[in-house]
Every structure is written in C-alpha cells, then in structure tokens.
C-alpha cells in the first residue's frame, strides 16, 4: 500500500456509531405482556382440546390486539444514534468525574472503571448523541426521570461506552466463517 493510498483511506475514515431504539410508550408493554400470557393460555387450551389454532377466535383476537400494540409502540420509538466524542473531550470528562471512594479510601465498586458512573454517563450520553439533536434541558429531563427507565438509560450509556472505548476493527464472525467455507466448498464442486 502506498502512502497516497494510506492517506486516502485516512481521509475517508468514518466514525463508528451505535443505534439505540427507545420506546416512549412502555406503558403499553404491560398490556402486551398480559396478552402474551393470554395467548399462551389460549394456545394451551387449543392443544388440550385437540383444536386447531388457525380457527381459534380467541387466538385471532389476541394476535390482532398484540399486533396493534406493537405497531403503536414502534410508532412511539425513537432511534437514538451515538458516535464517539473527541479524545481530548473524553480525557477532560474523566478528570471532571473522578471515581468515588469509600470510608477506607477504596474505589467504590460501581466506579471500578476509574470514574463516577453516576455523573459521567449523564454528561457522556448527550455529548455522544448525534440524533436526535436535543437541547441540554431536554437531556436533563430525560436522564433525571423524565419518562425513560433506568434500563433505557443503561442501554444508552452502554452504547456510548462501546462507541467511545471499544476496539474498532474488521469484525469476525465464527458463524459467517463456517457458513462461508461451506458455501464456497459447495459452489466449487463439479457438476455431474
């Protein structure tokens, strides 16, 4: 590879990103889970009666309601997109959020990565988010109990950590490698 080719690759480098879908209507999830249980019971009843599920009106009605709920939840889902922040900004953040220590001077278990996890991610998530472009006051509301669950905030935090700190290399998949070898071997066999 020539230096010109190296420079062309570097000039065309693209940042990694992580999408995180966030449903804003988790209240519907409770009903969906109730329906899922009703569906399980209806299927069991149909099997017990040696009946076909295809014609079961209970099953059809439950499936239709579940489909409608899923559609409503998907329509209320925002896909947040996170990209890495510049390294100097990352380093400054680490200094602003030192790990907490217990009475004996030991780093508390939640901060074993070397920073205060309670405050660090509250700053990192908005800085790493490139879509949607929310104003700071909206982020404060979202991250401080404004409609998102701790799990959703955790998913955003994990995505931000991954996109900023994980290795970025050509991915390897054992499954792909195995399938590729099988497919290539099969396609090279002589036809009879």
Phi, then psi, of 141 in degrees rounded to 5: -65, -45
At residue 184, the pLDDT reads 73
* Separation between Cα atoms, residue 141 and residue 135, nearest integer Å: 10
Beta-carbon contacts of residue 136 (< 8 Å; ≥ 6 apart): 126
Say if 157 falls within a structural domain.
yes
Is 88 among the domain residues?
A: yes
Neighbour order of strands in the sheet with 18-23 = 18-23, 77-82, 129-131
Assess if residue 25 is contained within a domain: yes
Q: How many domains does the chain have?
A: 1
147: number of Cβ within 10 Å: 11
End-to-end Cα distance, the chain: 43
pLDDT at residue 74 in the model: 94
Q: What is the residue-level pLDDT of the chain in tens, covering all 192 positions? A: 899 998 998 898 888 899 999 998 888 988 999 999 999 988 888 776 655 545 456 888 999 999 999 999 999 999 999 999 999 999 999 999 999 999 999 999 999 989 999 899 999 999 999 999 999 999 988 888 777 888 999 999 999 999 998 776 666 778 888 887 777 766 565 555
How far apart, in whole angstroms, are the C-alpha atoms of residue 82 and residue 125?
A: 8
Give a yes or no: residue 59 inside a domain: yes
Angle among Cα 175, 181, 183 to the nearest 5 degrees reads: 95
| Residue 177 falls inside a structural domain | no
Task: Say if 9 falls within a structural domain.
Answer: no
Q: Is residue 190 part of a domain?
A: no
Domain of 141 in residue numbering reads as 15-166
Close Cβ partners of 108 (under 8 Å, ≥ 6 residues apart): 99, 100, 101, 102
| Paired residues of 22 in beta bridges | 78
For residue 175, tell me if it sits in a domain: no
């Amino acid at each position: 590879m020539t230096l010109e080719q190296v420079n062309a690759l570097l000039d065309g480098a693209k940042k990694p990103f992580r999408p995180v879908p966030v449903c804003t209507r988790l209240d519907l999830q409770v009903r969906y889970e109730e329906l899922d249980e009703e569906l399980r019971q209806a299927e069991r009843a149909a099997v017990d009666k040696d009946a076909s599920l295809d014609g079961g009106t209970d099953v059809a009605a439950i499936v239709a309601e579940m489909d409608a709920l899923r559609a409503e939840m998907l329509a209320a889902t925002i896909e947040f997109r996170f990209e890495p922040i510049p390294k100097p900004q990352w380093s400054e953040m680490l200094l602003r959020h030192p790990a907490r220590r217990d009475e004996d001077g030991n780093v508390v278990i939640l901060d074993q990565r070397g920073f205060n996890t309670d405050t660090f991610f509250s700053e990192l998530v908005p800085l790493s988010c490139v879509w949607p472009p929310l104003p700071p006051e909206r982020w404060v509301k979202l991250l401080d109990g404004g409609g998102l669950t701790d799990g959703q905030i955790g998913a955003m935090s994990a995505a931000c950590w991954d996109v900023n700190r994980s290795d970025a290399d050509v991915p390897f998949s054992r499954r792909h490698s195995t399938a590729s070898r099988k497919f290539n071997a099969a396609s090279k066999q002589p036809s009879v």
